[in-house]
Amino acid sequence: MSTETANDNKWIGKNTIRPDGADKVTGRAAYAADTTMPGMIWGKILRSPHPHARIRSIDTRKAEAYPGVKAVVTAKDIVNFPLDKSVMLGIQDMRWMCRNVMAREKALFAGHPVAAVAATTEKIAAEACKLIEVDYEVLPFVIDVEEAMKPDAPILHDFIQFDGKPSNIAGKLEHKLGDIEAGFAKADVVIERTFRTKPVHQGYIEPHACLVSVSDGKATIWSSSQGQFMVRAMCAYLTGTPQNDIRAIPAEIGGGFGGKTIVYLEPVALLLAKKSGRPVKMIMTRGEVFHASGPTSGSFSKVKIGATKDGKVVAAQGTYCLQAGALPGSPIRGAAGCSFAPYDIPNVLSVGYDVVSNRSKVAAYRAPGAPIGAYAVECVMDELAEALKIDPLQFRLKNAAKQGTKAAHGPVYPRIGFVETIESALKHPHYKTPVPKPKNGLLHGRGVASGFWFNAGGESSAQVNIAEDGTVVVITGHPDIGGSRASTANITAEILGIDYKKVSVLIGDTSVIGFSNLTGGSRVTYASAMVVTQSTEQVITQLRERAAKIWKIDPDAVVWENGEARPAGDNAGKFEPLTLAQIAAQASATGGPIGAGKQLNTVGAEGGFATHVCDVEVDPGLGIVRVLRYTSFQDVGRAIHPGYVEGQMQGGVAQGIGWALSEEYIYDKSGKLDNPSFLDYRMPVSSDLPMLDSVIIEVPNPKHPQGVRGVGEVPLVPPMAAVANAIYNALGRRLYSLPMSPPKVLAAMDQAAE
Amino acid sequence: MTDIQYLAPRTLDEAVKAFAAAAGAGRILAGGTDLLVQMRNGTVRPGVIVDIKKIAEVTSIEEIAGGGFRIGAAVSGAALREHPKLRKIWPGVVEAANLIGSTQIQGRATAGGNLCNGSPAGDSVPALVAAGAVVIIQGPKGRREVAVEKVPAGPGRLNLTAGEIVVGFTLPPRPKGSSDAYLRMIPRTEMDIAVVGCGVSLTLDNGTCTAARVGLGAVAPTVLLVEEAARALIGSKLDAAALEKAAVACSAACRPIDDKRGTIAYRTKVAGVLLKRTAAIAAERAGRK
């Protein structure tokens, strides 16, 4: 890791020891599945074996009569949101959520929940599920996005119409800039290509799990999610419980990457707990996670880009068709919005289609949609650079968006750091090192790609309290999946001028801290830094007032420096400075406890940009691609905790390499997922990857007190194209679909040889 | 729901008796790295588990004069690796057994279990086929011996009769200038299942191949002994033409399926590629002896 700007902060920018580290490495950290209660029983879900079937009836009598069974739940028990009226919670429509947690009119994918049982043991619950009789009318199904768009495709939802006809196309989004036809007319070189990608899962190690207890109408939920307030709101909607009667307690989270921004188990467990009067625990198996939780979309895309002879891109057109899964809501905004966003292009037409098909409903996955769009665009950019005989990084630099560039998805950019990522890559030893010549029969290649993600602000709450001994407790409201506690400690310690070890940062549950939006959109360090900064500044005002009271001078005559109140102006030097501990010791006498909170809907989260360089080695006999060297260059605004920033950059690249080379959902002929385990859903293992190098570039965000830009999602945007372009460089042959698995690589080479 | 009876007999006779008595409800537990996974995901529900790890003959490695060995069916991969002489004489068999699973799995997983799981993709089986290993089987009617390639009957099926237990393997004595090797194709670097596996055992005399056996995994319903490939190697100096002929024979022997792990075309082609690479390693090792 290297950082391109130095700073003289004491804690911001330092790799302080992470507060959750010791508990995690010693196994003490409490994840959702670790919680138990006296009298607790177990919930299990019965899932549809059919990818598409009308549910004629469900008979649960035998299951209810089975010894040990305490409650059974079906769609009848879930609040029904009628199809004709949208009720949105964030990006989720409750019409779809109520049908996703429990199939209502139809089972829409193999694995779709149709009923749930709570019983005294997991085994009894599983046995009782088998006693539930579901009368299915099996219907024709469609999995693939291109198949689902054909005129004769089986239709999933009668209520969805496109162009006046029943359709699986549930939505369309369009970004336009300039005049696309006129733009292409000016181009000397135009390249148009088609790309396909498979659905890929976030691959969080911790399966979904929860424990729910309901007593006197009040529910307590312990669960693993990316937002306890999301859990509360969704459960309130889906079970008809007022929000004040639900307390959602966030467990330590074993990975989410976007996949835990919606609920699967919690509302079901709540209803089972309510019916049975017993606390109910539910844990998904890995198979259930693969069958029924949301991966991101598979896709079919067409991208056409035109440039003049001197290397200026003049027109760009993209069409991105994304699988939504069983219910509408694929990330077309990310694909259509982000794909051309790194470039200053006068004429753009970027269109996304949201397409339903009979597989599990997609959930967010790191920069949702953006990697799919960038894969297509960055591969075409590579071909254009080659056709124009320009270095691919120089080509990107020539067309890079900067301050003042109007982007097709809407904004005129403020100060951004995209150019810096390319310039940094150009001068880095990685890019300057020649690509190795073929050796021992192995071929080598290098590829580059860039990427953009919107980043987000939104609602956050914080409370900063000074304990009686002068130490500090900070509470925020979003689960920490990327280092927000360590970053918050750094910021609080920096502002207060104290040792970071004197600051403890906790994640509050829904009853102890104000509303805070999801951990997602690369928003948490950005937004929580804002509310924590403002809270801490209020605390400092109080500290100055208390010192003024002790000294009997005007508060304006007191400054806060280096962790102490000091007399200033005419009073300078007249009193001994007062430390935080000294002021805290006198808090009761000077006005009571010291602390402050802030709640904001934060704005000003500006976009993030990255450029990646990837070297691969291809075994031409077996078609195996190995990544030998990888360096990512990213403008992070300001790295509050560089170690965590590096971790985000490396993690995104690791996931991107898996997406590029080996990960995919494979369906059998009956429409069932055929690889629902980590054995055959091939995420990279550590020995598959080299050290993933990262260069942190800091172009501060002018709209943020510390200059922060979101960090966590951009790293997954460029890798697929970077790997694809490197494979082309090695083989002289392009692959246009993911994953670029050994059979595909070998087939491409055989075609080339013919 | 029924309870599972767990038995850990000290002698083979007791084990055979218990296993035969359990009839179809019995399962043999060696390392358990397949059985426990299958029980957990619900594909098998045994009524009786017969643990054979307490039986001396099944858990030991014995040397036979002239480079031969008798290996108990329940010897773990880690124990095979730690046997210095076995590793030197049969490096291919040992490396194949050591490709199964992770370091933790290696402490449990056994070659006997690998064979009896009946997967055409088991890593140790093609190496044992190439090695000419003979399987020792004991059942209610006594003891018999059969070539390893005759044991698998199809995916998950074995040519064993009711109550028969695999006791171990005999690796034959071998002349000077002999060695073996195993290679497999997996998309990842580890923690994966062979898409194609290839074992080659051969003997060199002054650079000429005087004996050879080739085993191929994951390209047919059972692991294959490819005699045609061996014939192409025997009598040659392992020159490019001989290797090409053997590779063609391997590809021709393939009867693979298209599945989530690989395609017919891919497996067929890669079988030939792996033959050449595996034979080169075995020859290099044999040349050093």
Sign of CA dihedral A422, A427, A431, A437: positive
How sure is the predictor about A8, in pLDDT bands with cuts at 50, 70 and 90? Answer: confident
Q: Strand A169-177's sheet: what is its strand order?
A: A169-177, A347-356, A313-325, A299-307, A189-197
Pairwise CB contact (< 8 Å): B273 & A621:
yes
pLDDT digits (tens, 9 = 90+) for A273-290: 999 999 999 999 999 999
More confident residue, A97 or B67: A97
Pairwise CB contact (< 8 Å): B262 & A743:
yes
Q: Token pair of A84, please?
A: 């004709």
Q: CA B63, CA A727: separation in Å to the nearest integer?
A: 49
Q: Which amino acid is at A717?
A: V
The mean pLDDT value for B221-231 works out to 98
pLDDT digits (tens, 9 = 90+) for A715-754: 999 999 999 999 999 999 999 999 999 999 999 988 866 6
Is the predicted pLDDT of residue B47 greater than 80, yes or no?
Answer: yes
- Among residues B151, B166, B74, B147, the alpha carbon closest in space to that of B119 is found at B151
Q: CA A71, CA A69: separation in Å to the nearest integer?
A: 6
pLDDT digits (tens, 9 = 90+) for B16-33: 999 999 988 999 999 999
What are the Cα distances from residue B197, in Å, to B39, B184, B218, B271? 26, 4, 6, 8
Give me the pLDDT at residue B41, please. Answer: 82
pLDDT digits (tens, 9 = 90+) for A204-255: 999 999 999 999 999 999 999 999 999 999 999 999 999 999 999 999 999 9
Cβ distance B89 to B282 under 8 Å? no
- The chain-wide mean pLDDT, for chain A, equals 96
Cβ distance B207 to B228 under 8 Å? no
Please report residues of A whose CB lies closer than 8 A to that of B193: 679-680
Burial A613-639 (b: 16+ CB within 10 A, else e): bbbbbbbbbbbbbbbbbbbbbbbbbbb
Give me the pLDDT at residue B287, please. Answer: 87
Pairwise CB contact (< 8 Å): A682 & B260:
no
pLDDT digits (tens, 9 = 90+) for A119-170: 999 999 999 999 999 999 999 999 999 999 999 999 999 999 999 999 999 9
Out of B185, B189, B261, closest to residue A685 by CB:
B189
Give me the pLDDT at residue B40, please. Answer: 87
Q: Rounded to 10 degrees, what is the CA torsion of A203, A206, A209, A211?
A: -160
B264 close to A (CB below 8 A): no
Query: How close, in Å, is residue A477 to chain B by CA atoms?
Result: 38
For residue A336, give the 3-state DSSP assignment. helix
For residue B67, give the 3-state DSSP assignment. coil
The DSSP secondary-structure symbol of B66 reads: T
Query: Which of these ranges, A257-271, A303-317, B36-50, has the smallest mean pLDDT?
Result: B36-50
ipTM: 0.94
What are the Cα distances from residue A639, in Å, to A266, A536, A596, A604, A647? 35, 20, 26, 17, 12
How sure is the predictor about B58, in pLDDT bands with cuts at 50, 70 and 90? Answer: very high
Q: Indicate which of A124, A442, A622 best probes the interface with B, i.e. most B CBs within 10 Å of its own CB.
A: A622
Query: What is the C-alpha R_g of chain A?
Result: 27
- For chain B positions 174-213, those within 8 Å of chain A (CB to CB) are 185, 187-193, 195
Query: How close, in Å, is residue B274 to chain A by CA atoms?
Result: 9
Residues in contact with A640: Cβ distance below 8 Å, sequence separation at least 6, in sequence order: A12, A13, A487, A490, A491, A525, A529, A706, A708
Is the predicted pLDDT of residue B1 greater than 50, yes or no?
Answer: no
All structural domains of chain B: 5-119+134-171 (3.30.465.10), 178-287 (3.30.390.50)
Is the predicted pLDDT of residue A7 greater than 70, yes or no?
Answer: no
pLDDT digits (tens, 9 = 90+) for A413-460: 999 999 999 999 999 999 999 999 998 899 999 999 999 999 999 999
Please report residues of B whose CB lies closer than 8 A to that of A680: 193, 260-261
What is Dmax (Cα atoms) for chain A? 92
Please report residues of B whose CB lies closer than 8 A to that of A685: 188-191
Is the predicted pLDDT of residue A6 greater than 60, yes or no?
Answer: no
